[in-house]
Amino acid sequence: MNSPMIVLIAILAALVGAAVGYLLKNFQIQRARQQLEAESQNILNKAEEKARQIEKEARQEAHQLRKAAEAEIERRRAEITRSEDRLQRRFDQLEARAERLERREHALNKRQSALDRQANQIAQMEAEARERLEQIARMSAEEARQTLLQQVEREAREDMARIIRQIEAEAQEEGERRARKLVADAIQRVASEHVVEVTSSTVDLPSDDMKGRIIGRNGRNIHSFERAAGVDVIVDDTPEAITISSFDPVRREIARRAMEKLVLDGRIHPAHIEKIVEKERKEVEKAIIEAGEEAAFEAGVSGLHREIIKMLGRLKFRTSYGQNQLAHAVETAKLAAALAAELGANVEIAKAGALLHDLGKAMDHNVEGTHAQIGAEFAARYGVHPAVVNCIASHHHEV
């Protein structure tokens, strides 16, 4: 083999070797790239799976927190409701107990007075008997005859007194029957149909999304509202509604109106909340005065002090045993006027006393004393006639 051929073969071998080396290197690069892509995809898949897992756990945790919050809200609402019921029952029981004690004390006083009278009568009879025996021992025939005549006369007078008492009892029974008829006739004349006003503490919402806006970030809005209105706002799972709770019916009415305005307006933030609550407070105060003036006009009672009118108007937002207290006061005034006219009593005093008899129920729960007592004191403070003040104080036999 000659030299040129060897050189050619060597060159070809070198080229083939270079080509094979290039292909081998390229294959290795491609394989490494595929491995890197596979590892990258694997990392990406794991990251996505981890993200999904974190999102799932976050959703579960949020759901659990929401359920816990809803349960706590429901528990709080139930506790408030139970507390209100207990306080109302306790208040009613105390009033009933006070009335029973007053009646019992009155009955005991009457019984003691009767016993004292009987004891005095017995002592007097014993003294008279001793005196008669002493007289009989010293008297003559004529004196004995006179004594007998006096005894007969006394017995006749006693029989006559017994007959008179029987007639009086029959007359009293007839008088009571006629009095019941008078009451029935008066009720028929003044009776009017009216729907008992139910104080609602529920505010309807356009959607459940509004609950979040009412609560605000970190509860900022709801806390501002509760402070401004002096009520508790309960946001629970009731669809499209929230509940306003307060022992003061006037505060509850102010809060209800303010919340409805805020929901309708849509601007719910602390500054606007305070502005709306204050505006509705003035509106309710105006409505209270108007209600008091209308009640006084309807009952025919004039000359009342503005503070009396205002306190009377507050009864519009209070109920007792399901009856609106202002309507009850007006009805009572009409009935009292009819009865007073039938019996010849002072109609004006009767009307005013009946209209204002429950004035104390409109006063703050923090004021100590029975509603009859504090109502009478309030009326006396603002120049109400003493006879009317006595009507207020004594309508539960406290004086």
If you average pLDDT over residues 69-96, what whole number do you get?
76
Rounded to whole angstroms, how far apart are CA atoms 388 and 374? 14
Predicted pLDDT at 1? 53
pLDDT value at 262 more than 50: yes
Q: Say whether 269 sits in a helix, a strand or coil.
A: coil
pTM score of the predicted model: 0.50
User: Once rounded to an integer, what is the mean pLDDT over residues 374-381?
Assistant: 80
Give pLDDT, residue 168: 67
Q: Which two tokens stand for residue 119?
A: 């004891």
Q: Please say if the pLDDT value at position 198 is more than 70.
A: no
| pLDDT for the residue numbered 240 | 85
Is a pLDDT exceeding 90 seen at residue 275? Answer: yes
Q: How confident is the model at residue 274, as a pLDDT?
A: 92
**Residue with token string 């501002």:** 224
Q: Span 92-121, mean pLDDT?
A: 78
- Give me the helix-helix angle, 306-314 and 371-381, nearest 10°: 150
The secondary structure of residue 316, as a DSSP letter, is G
Distance CA 116, CA 216 (A): 73
Q: Could you tell me the two tokens for 112? A: 């003691």
pLDDT at position 197: 40
> Of the spans 81-85, 286-290, 317-321, 366-370, which averages the highest pLDDT?
286-290
**pLDDT tens readout for residues 280-331:** 999 989 988 898 899 889 888 888 889 888 888 888 888 766 678 888 888 8
Give the per-residue pLDDT at 142. 63
Q: Quick one: pLDDT band at residue 178, thresholds 50, 70, 90?
A: low
Q: What is the pLDDT of residue 179?
A: 56
pLDDT value of residue 199:
47
Higher-confidence residue: 120 or 140?
A: 120
Q: Which residues contact 230 (CB under 8 A, 6 or more apart)?
A: 246, 248, 251, 255
In the numeric block, the tokens 């036999």 are attached to 397
* Angle between the N-to-C axes of helices 306-314 and 270-299, in degrees from 0 to 180, rounded to the nearest 10: 110
Least Cα distance to 397 among 91, 95, 103 occurs for 103
pLDDT at residue 129, as a whole number: 64
pLDDT, tens digit, 9 for 90 and up, residues 29-61: 777 778 877 777 888 778 788 878 887 887 787
Q: How confident is the model at residue 338 (pLDDT cuts 50, 70, 90)?
A: confident
Q: Provide the sign of the torsion angle of the four alpha carbons 286, 392, 344, 186, taken in this order.
A: positive
Give bridge partners of residue 142 from the DSSP assignment.
none
The count of other CB atoms within 10 Å of the CB of residue 201 is 18
* Residue 277 in this model has a pLDDT that exceeds 80: yes
Question: Lowest mean pLDDT: which of 212-226, 273-287, 320-334?
Answer: 320-334
- Could you write out the DSSP letters of every residue in 107-163? HHHHHHHHHHHHHHHHHHHHHHHHHHHHHHHH--HHHHHHHHHHHHHHHHHHHHHHH
> What share of the chain in percent tops pLDDT 70?
79
